[in-house]
Amino acid sequence: MAAVLEDTSMAARPELTGMERLGLRVSAMINSPLAQLGRRVLIHRLYTDSDQDWEAIMELLAETDGLDMTFCDDGSVILQWDAPTNDDRVIEREVDLDLVRHEEEEAPF
């Protein structure tokens, strides 16, 4: 019974396009902890990536502010970026003033 449920759920999902698969792979590489720590990542092209999909993703990356792209001889691309500054960060948050006042009081122990 469980196998039947698994098969029907797989059939209900639409298959990803090549562009979507490439975008997810590039996104995962950029968001990896090691890449985030060094603010640098090597994006490699797979033989399954079409020219059209690769060029579209490279164009999207090229349009991104603060991102430096270095094209390597083997077709891979090195992406580098600077750490975000306080001007880049947008934090919107409502503050409960009663809670802030309560936190400022010293603990009774």
How many CA atoms lie within 13 Å of 10's alpha carbon, on the beta-carbon side? 6
Quote the pLDDT of residue 52.
96
Would you say residue 21 has pLDDT above 80? yes
Domain range annotation of the chain: 19-104
Answer yes or no: pTM beyond 0.75: no
Which range in 35-39, 98-102, 104-108 is most confidently predicted, on average pLDDT? 35-39
Return d(Cα 26, Cα 62) in angstroms, integer: 13
Question: CATH classification of 19-104 is 3.90.1070, yes or no?
Answer: yes
Residue 27 or 102, more confident: 27
Would you say residue 101 has pLDDT above 70? no
Return d(Cα 81, Cα 24) in angstroms, integer: 19
Residue 46, token pair as written in the block: 């797979």
